[in-house]
Amino acid sequence: MQPFPGDQIQLPRNMIENSMFEEEPDVVDLAKEPCLHPLEPDEVEYEPRSSRLLVRGLGEHEMDDDEEDYESSAKLLGMSFMNRSSSLRNSMSVYRQSSNGSCSLPSTRTMVVCTVILVIAVALIMVIYLLPKCIFTKEGCHKKNHTMELIYPLATNGKLFPWAKIRLPSDVVPLHYDLVLQPNLTSLKFSGSVKIVVNIIRVTWKIVLHSSGLNITKATITSAGGHQEKPAELLEYPLHDQIVVMAPEALLVGQNYTVNIAYSSNLSDTCYGFYKISYKDENSKQRWFAATQFEPVAARSAFPCFDEPAFKATFLIKIRRDEKLSTLSNMPKKATTPVTNGIVQDEFFVSLKMSTYLVAFVVADLKNISRETNGSLVSVYAIPQHINQVEYALNTSVKLLEFYQNYFLINYPLEKLDLVAIPDFQSGAMENWGLITFRESSLLFNSRTSSARDKKLITAVIAHELAHQWFGNLVTMEWWNDLWLNEGFATFMEYFAMEEIFPELHSDEDFLNLIFKAMMKDSLNSSHPVSSAVQSSEQIEEMFDALSYIKGASLLLMLKHYLTKDVFQAGIEVYLHNHNYGCAQSDDLWDSMNEITNGTLDVKKLMKTWIVQKGFPLVSVVRKGKIISVKQEKYLYLVEPENWTSDESYLWHIPLTYITSSCNFTHCTNAYLLDQKSAVIELPEEVEWIKFNVDMNGYYIVHYGEDWKTLIDLLKKNHTALSPKDRANLINNIFSLAGLGKESLEKAFELIDYLNKESSTAPLTQALFQLSLIYNLLEKKGEQQLAARLMHRIECLLGDKIDQQSWTDDGALSQRELRSTLLAFACTHDIRNCRTTATEMFEKWVNSNGTMSLPSDVMKAIFTAGAKSSDGWDFLLKMYSSSVSEAEKSKMIEALASTEDVRKLIWLMQNSLEGEVIRTQELSHIIATVSQSLPGYLLAWDFVKENWEKLTRKFHLGSYMIQNIISWSTSQFSTKAHLVEVKSFFESKSEQSSQLHSVKEAIDTIQLNIQWMERNLAMLQELL
């Protein structure tokens, strides 16, 4: 899956994780676990006290093998003693009754004796009762890990629900699903039935599986070879989205049984599960569209299932529909048969073995174009009015599919691959096997309105999702703690494939900027390891973040350069062949790589230091003649005593790379593995300068100490001695170190003085990003004069470069993208004559009633300038409602959200939440844009506070939409008052909300902003 790239850190999918109740440990031991259950079998989840039931006397058939040894919690708490000892009350009474029925007081001696006897009796009973029975046996007791006994919750009907864990048991595994669905796009409901063939691993009387929001009307069990369905008792526990089918008799090891369940539900009004979408057709008539989004845990809301990635099975899907509509699913269509008047049933071929989150189906009025390649039919689908925008996606998909098949040496295993543009879709795309679903702006290319950046985005998203057909679909992570195996690999392959097939797109520069942004998140104390223990749905959702995607991908990039591309490719081939149609953990990947290195390098030992530790290293370099001293420490912005782990516990195995003045070409790159806290590198000769982390291929920051002056002089005299990526790397590192307090802001500004000679996109983009961060902090802090002086400094550096830009779509793709960046920045901040020129072009467009063609690369700048006036804003909104180009609409949304009219901003956010004129998928993009402006940043936060309950109903807690909304609405705060307000707000909400990693990250970011201002404000006043 790909979170939408326009938000926050533009995740390539194009776009979760740790314990919800405590800070993640800094080092996590990821011991290899069995495929079906990475968690230890004795790991137990405990429910809120209100939902617990203390249980005694369960029949043997109601308990698993590993549960039978447990005593009840009532016993543990000593509660049962009260019942057992009640019979003692009469015989041991310390009162005597006289013949007349009155009581006489006992003697003192009697009282003492009775008290002693009572105490001894109670003590003996307690000891006998509470000690494990095994103490009194010949064999004695086996040592247990259990610190508490199982506490079972109550089902919805008040009965005992015989499963207490969030994870499903491993005693029953699914083999095959027969799924029949009938969605009604008039009533917006659906009914369904599922037959699940299961195999019994251990004797049990229960089958535990997932179900969420389904109205189950029937549940039966059929034994292997049997024809009679036997009614089964059904228990539901909504807190864990679980149901239990209680068998009428014991289910035997090795036998297959079929679970039959009938149910119904509403089509979801969120973008999760099996959901409904409203859109306007060519005649402006409202139409309905039904689609699925199951990753990570929403398949259970469309059909009862074993909704965990390791429970792979095959699927036979049948969908009943209106004969005027069409359906798509993972597999090719096998047959269509009439059911009743106007209703037909489409049956699809049986799928390959796959996880539930990859199941998909679409019911809609669609058109498509197709092309065959290597035995597979590739098709791109869209609603009829968009079919003329799918050709670029089809051509790109065919090229990428052919590339991946050649690179992995494994053919795409299905006979067809469908790519479908969905009118309202929260992710960038979703990699469902054989049926990839996309946000329309991530798939549709309009040659008239799509910019160079739009083309790059579409290419990247397709490349990402096609890579998933191998990484994720063919080989799947065993559990969500290793999500990076899916997403990190798909992100890495996305950029690698684009460099190989579409070098003119310069996608490596985009990846560089994403790594810089991911490192900002990873430097906070609220960060987490790439591979992190997760269980709840909120924790799982939060794994879909920049660390799983970007950090995971950058670690693979670093490993590829260290191993060499041929060794790395061979390791990938071994990994895919060893685990195809199965599941894998991080260690399986490293073991595959070690098969190729054959003992020359322990890849597992090296990479574990990166996967199980959060954060990244800061490498300090001291040069004295030919001797280079290097040392590593943890790079960390914020240190809080209560949850800080000493730097001494952190050690990375860092594949250092460096070039020197004696030879600065790529083939002259030197390597050194720093696997200790410090080391010394001896050069063959003295050099004028040395640059570490060549092309930013390593995931670390470098501090050059006294050598910063040498590098600053190099950039001023001959900046092309370093590659554009190396120049961007230096800009990022020195500003990062200034924020950390390890280098002066004065030196950072001195380094970028060379920019008036810069012409490459990567360093210019990174400089603008760093300077914009500072400008935004100053502006929101009320330091308007200082902010204006900073903008004047930027204009002096880049003004000539801005003046050189033409208002056209001419030039190479990289030139066009730089033009978009510079002119959008200049118009936003009213630099030079940008806004005047843009306004004139906007007025001409308005006078043509929107029919005049505008250059796509500068369209956003023109719309943003036009939206500054009330009439221009209103016209833009009208054109948004009627536009059929998703690329054009995306630029309009950003322009509409850039207005300074408070009422319009409030209306825009509220309308997007309701999804009437503005689609709900745009909300986080709108909040991100609104929060950048001076009037908007407070409005965005107020909107989030006032609509928190609606937001968390619409977008799941922990989802990347919620992550981005929290981040953007708070990222501009830099005062202690705002820090207290944000903390107090989330503390007043549910524990799940307050413990979200995105909330902790937001608080860390505000503290960092406060710290940055305290450290650098005085220096800025002198510098500017």
Kindly tell me if the per-residue pLDDT of 852 is higher than 90.
Answer: yes
Question: DSSP H helical segments within 650-723, as ranges?
Answer: 708-718
Question: What are the structure tokens assigned to 990, written together?
Answer: 């549910």
- Per the CB < 8 A criterion, the answer to whether 196 and 174 are in contact is yes
* Angle at 125 (CA atoms; ends 120, 126), nearest 5 degrees: 100
pLDDT in tens, 338-364: 999 999 999 999 999 999 999 999 999
Give the span between the Cα atoms of 738 and 743, in whole angstroms.
Answer: 5
345, β-bridge pairs:
320, 337
CA distances to 465, 860, 924, 960 from 5, in Å = 14, 17, 11, 11
Question: What are the structure tokens assigned to 360, written together?
Answer: 């998909």
The amino acid at residue 123 is: A
Packing angle of the helix pair 484-501, 507-522 (nearest 10 deg): 150
* Angle at 99 (CA atoms; ends 94, 105), nearest 5 degrees: 30
* Phi/psi of residue 610, nearest 5 degrees: -95, -30
Mark 763-774 as b/e (b = at least 16 C-beta within 10 Å).
bbbbbbbbbbbb
- Min mean pLDDT across 32-46, 236-250, 348-362, 460-474 is at 32-46
Q: Quote the pLDDT of residue 687.
A: 95
- Min mean pLDDT across 113-122, 538-547, 621-630, 876-885 is at 113-122
Give the span between the Cα atoms of 485 and 585, in whole angstroms.
Answer: 8
Kindly tell me if the per-residue pLDDT of 84 is higher than 90.
Answer: no
Contacts of 434 (CB under 8 A, 6+ apart): 329, 330, 331, 351, 414, 416, 417, 418
Kindly tell me if the per-residue pLDDT of 729 is higher than 70.
Answer: yes
Give the span between the Cα atoms of 548 and 550, in whole angstroms.
Answer: 6
Kindly tell me if the per-residue pLDDT of 377 is higher than 70.
Answer: yes
DSSP line for 957-976: TTSHHHHHHHHHHHTT--SH
Give the span between the Cα atoms of 311 and 300, in whole angstroms.
Answer: 13
Of the candidates 675, 615, 618, the residue with the CA atom closest to the CA atom of residue 645: 615
Q: Quote the pLDDT of residue 878.
A: 95
Of the candidates 594, 615, 598, 614, the residue with the CA atom closest to the CA atom of residue 606: 594
Kindly tell me if the per-residue pLDDT of 137 is higher than 50.
Answer: no
Question: DSSP H helical segments within 353-451, as ranges?
Answer: 391-408
Kindly tell me if the per-residue pLDDT of 2 is higher than 80.
Answer: no
The amino acid at residue 991 is: E
Kindly tell me if the per-residue pLDDT of 148 is higher than 50.
Answer: no
pLDDT in tens, 787-841: 999 999 999 999 999 999 999 999 998 899 999 999 999 999 999 899 999 999 9
- Per the CB < 8 A criterion, the answer to whether 654 and 680 are in contact is no
Give the span between the Cα atoms of 380 and 419, in whole angstroms.
Answer: 5
- Per the CB < 8 A criterion, the answer to whether 457 and 43 are in contact is no
Packing angle of the helix pair 813-828, 834-847 (nearest 10 deg): 100
67 belongs to the catalytic site = no
What does pTM read for this prediction? Answer: 0.86
Q: Quote the pLDDT of residue 994.
A: 87
Q: Quote the pLDDT of residue 101.
A: 41
Q: Quote the pLDDT of residue 426.
A: 85
* Phi/psi of residue 246, nearest 5 degrees: -90, 120
Give the span between the Cα atoms of 600 and 1013, in whole angstroms.
Answer: 49
- Per the CB < 8 A criterion, the answer to whether 885 and 483 are in contact is no
Q: Quote the pLDDT of residue 109.
A: 61
Question: What are the structure tokens assigned to 733, written together?
Answer: 């590192």
- Per the CB < 8 A criterion, the answer to whether 859 and 451 are in contact is yes
Q: Quote the pLDDT of residue 396.
A: 98
Give the span between the Cα atoms of 786 and 765, in whole angstroms.
Answer: 22
Among 23, 465, 743, 894, the active-site one is: 465
Pairing of strands 475-477, 582-584: parallel
Give the span between the Cα atoms of 170 and 158, in whole angstroms.
Answer: 26
Q: What share of the chain is helix, strand, coil (3-state, %, to 5)?
A: 45, 20, 35
Q: Quote the pLDDT of residue 107.
A: 59
Give the span between the Cα atoms of 85 and 91, in whole angstroms.
Answer: 11
- The residue to which tokens 């969905």 are assigned: 422
Kindly tell me if the per-residue pLDDT of 1017 is higher than 70.
Answer: yes
Q: Kindly state the helix (H) or strand (E) to which residue 629 belongs, with its residue range.
A: strand 627-634
Contacts of 22 (CB under 8 A, 6+ apart): none
DSSP line for 416-437: EEEEEEESS-SEEEE--TTEEE
Give the span between the Cα atoms of 536 and 870, in whole angstroms.
Answer: 47
The whole-number average pLDDT for the span 413-417 is 98
With 0-12 / 13-18 / 19 or more C-beta atoms within 10 angstroms meaning exposed / middle / buried, residue 1005 is buried
Residue 125 pLDDT level (bands cut at 50, 70, 90)? low
Q: Quote the pLDDT of residue 284.
A: 87
Give the span between the Cα atoms of 544 and 484, in whole angstroms.
Answer: 9
Kindly tell me if the per-residue pLDDT of 26 is higher than 50.
Answer: no
DSSP line for 512-580: HHHHHHHHHHHTSTT---SS----SHHHHHTTSSHIIIIIHHHHHHHHHHHH-HHHHHHHHHHHHHHHT
* Phi/psi of residue 62, nearest 5 degrees: -95, 0
Kindly tell me if the per-residue pLDDT of 7 is higher than 70.
Answer: no
pLDDT in tens, 867-910: 999 999 999 999 999 998 999 999 999 999 999 999 999 999 99
Give the span between the Cα atoms of 188 and 363, in whole angstroms.
Answer: 12
